[in-house]
């Protein structure tokens, strides 16, 4: 009888320990973001960034004699992005992200408006291990630097089981775009 009670007690303690560890967040106590998400948002939101955004764009020619140089330009652009943030993504997810509009939304708008953008702060607002809502605070300064404004953007980032990014979605641009 005593062995059964002891066995039940041990099973109960182990069950509590197992379930207490489930569902926890992989964030620190103040919700700061580091690592891959920080690297990604720096690339998306810091402007100007001539390395990742070619203000001249890529000229797509209909002339067959120029197709090779166009393909080289596109490959050079993709390689620059892959070098900067490719390691942040789960296997085979970088190519999907590369085709999304979010990749150059802020970089392109800043170029058109003549603005510079500085990333100030990144915090996790909500989420779990697989999906997080991220708030990124940016300062947008006009071309002459005479005026600036603080803007809060919201991103939904989906992760795989190894903390690598699977999907990036801009939920709120803070009125910038």
Give the integer Cα–Cα distance in Å for 81 and 33: 21
Query: Stretch 37-58: mean pLDDT, rounded?
Result: 87
Each residue's pLDDT tens digit, 144-159: 778 899 999 999 999 9
Q: Is residue 121 part of a domain?
A: yes
Each residue's pLDDT tens digit, 69-79: 678 888 999 99
Do 130 and 159 contact (CB within 8 A), yes or no? yes
pTM above 0.85, yes or no: no
Q: Is the dihedral of CA 61, 114, 156, 76 positive or negative?
A: positive
Q: Which domain holds residue 105?
A: 30-55+66-172
Query: Stretch 49-78: mean pLDDT, rounded?
Result: 72
Report which DSSP code applies to 49.
-
**89 vs 55, more confident:** 89
Report which DSSP code applies to 90.
P
Tell me the two tokens of residue 148.
């600036």
Q: Please, which pLDDT band fits residue 83 given cuts at 50, 70 and 90?
A: very high
- Give the CATH number for residue 49: 3.10.450
Give the integer Cα–Cα distance in Å for 169 and 103: 10
Q: Is residue 22 part of a domain?
A: no
């Amino acid at each position: 009888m005593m062995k059964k009670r002891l066995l039940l007690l041990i099973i109960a303690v182990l069950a509590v320990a197992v379930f207490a560890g489930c569902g926890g967040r992989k964030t620190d106590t103040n919700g700061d973001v580091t690592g891959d998400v920080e690297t990604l948002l720096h690339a998306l939101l810091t402007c100007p960034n001539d390395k990742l955004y070619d203000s001249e764009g890529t000229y797509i020619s209909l002339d067959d004699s120029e197709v090779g140089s166009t393909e080289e330009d596109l490959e050079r652009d993709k390689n620059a992005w892959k070098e900067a943030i490719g390691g942040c993504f789960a296997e085979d997810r970088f190519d999907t992200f590369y085709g999304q509009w979010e990749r150059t939304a802020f970089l392109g708008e800043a170029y058109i408006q003549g603005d510079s953008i500085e990333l100030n702060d990144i915090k996790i607002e909500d989420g779990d291990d697989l999906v997080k809502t991220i708030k990124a605070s940016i300062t947008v300064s006009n071309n002459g630097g005479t005026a600036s404004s603080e803007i809060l953007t919201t991103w939904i980032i989906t992760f795989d089981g190894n903390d690598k990014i699977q999907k990036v979605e801009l939920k709120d641009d803070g009125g910038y775009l």
